[in-house]
Every structure is written in C-alpha cells, then in structure tokens.
Amino acid sequence: MASGNGSNFEAIVQAINTGRLGAEIPLLVVNNKNCGAQQRADRFGIHLEVVDHRSYPNREALDRQLVSLFQSHQVDVVVMAGWMRIVTDVLVKAFPERLVNIHPSLLPSFRGLDAVGQALKAGVSISGCTVHIVTTELDAGPILAQAAVPVFATDNHDSLAKRVQQQEHVLLPATLQQNAHRWRQG
C-alpha cells in the first residue's frame, strides 16, 4: 500500500529481484491516482489498484474494500509502504499481526504526521525509522526493527528526511525477510 512516491515499494521490489527478500507482490494499492508509486508499479509490471479514499463514506468502508482486494489476490502480508491513511480495526482484524508499517522515527517517539519535522523541532540528536506491526492505535504496534540516523546541526527537513528514507529502504525489506517465518501459511 502506498500513497506517494513509492520509494519504499521500489526498495521491496529491488530486494525481491536481487534475492534478498523471498516474496512476491501480487498487487500494489494506491489511494492517489498517478502518484509515483503507481508509475513504479507500471515500470515493474506489478498489478495496481487505485482505491481513492475520497470515494468512500468513511474509513471502515475504505478498509472493507481493501480487505476484499487483498483477499481476492490471496495476500498473506500487507505492507504499508508510505500509506498515508489511518486504518481501522476492519483491516487490522482481517490481517492480525500481518499488517506492517514503516514509520520515519524511532517509535514510540514522534508518532503520526511529519515525524521528521517533529524530531527537528524537539532538537533530538538521533532520529531514525521503525518497522512495526499495525494496530488500531496510531504508530503504537509491536516494533519489529529500528534503524538510527544521527541528526546533524546542519540538518534541515529535506536532508534529515533523505537520510532516514535511505535507512527505510534497507530496513523494511530486511525486516520483512527476517520475519517471514511469522507469516508463512500452512
């Protein structure tokens, strides 16, 4: 699942293509038509579904549609790789312990939107990223892995965000591979 540029999605695809991640991607769901993630899916020949959240009366209706799509494509694990929507218990309960998110902070610090900006405003010396299991509480599920990124005195939002994202691209596929035993069917 992605909402924007899709660089974490591409990192997963590259990890699969190079043998670092033993997985298949049956589809990518985006909620913003023509976003970068959609273009990346087209480039890699990965099936794409656009599910525009603005077309649904509430979050639960959106999540019911997502569950239906994932089930129809026999998805085992759902990865929120830049999905900028809060999910409900409809999706969480359909994929218990199998809904994974990457967040650009060292959780539990700086939950929610603009974690990089929150870190800079707080004046921390270390930021980073976290891969965690999604629960109904925002960015509060069990942590699977984290990577630290130093915050330099010269950092601005763009420079820190870029270094955090570089770590996300390494951490997310590696964490998925390390935890694959959790999600194997059968």
Residues known to be catalytic: 103
Q: Which two tokens stand for residue 84?
A: 């900028």
CB atoms within 10 A of CB 55: 11
Burial of 97 (0-12, 13-18, 19+ CB in 10 A): middle
